[in-house]
Amino acid sequence: MVFSCHKAGMKKQTRSTPTRPTFSIFRQLCNLISTHLVGQLARDTNVEEKSRSFKPWSHVVSLLFARFTHAVGLNDVC
């Protein structure tokens, strides 16, 4: 004899609808800046050769975050 899931005491599965993705204001601002332009400016000014571990895009994002959080320097961000 086959029982349905309701008679066996199991809960009925409901499908949840996915939430709409929302981006923070910081992410929206970063999306406005062209990553290609940042890399090109870094190459044109030879900044990319002088940096040891930071990529130009990471540096720009770090400086923007520091500005939004009113940090004095990059040491306050870390």
First to last CA, the chain: 64
Burial class of residue 63, CB neighbours in 10 A (0-12, 13-18, 19+)? middle
Q: Is the pLDDT of residue 5 over 70?
A: no
Q: Is the pLDDT of residue 7 over 70?
A: no
pLDDT tens digits, 29-64: 889 999 899 989 988 998 877 777 888 898 888 888
Q: Tell me the whole-structure pTM to 2 decimals.
A: 0.60
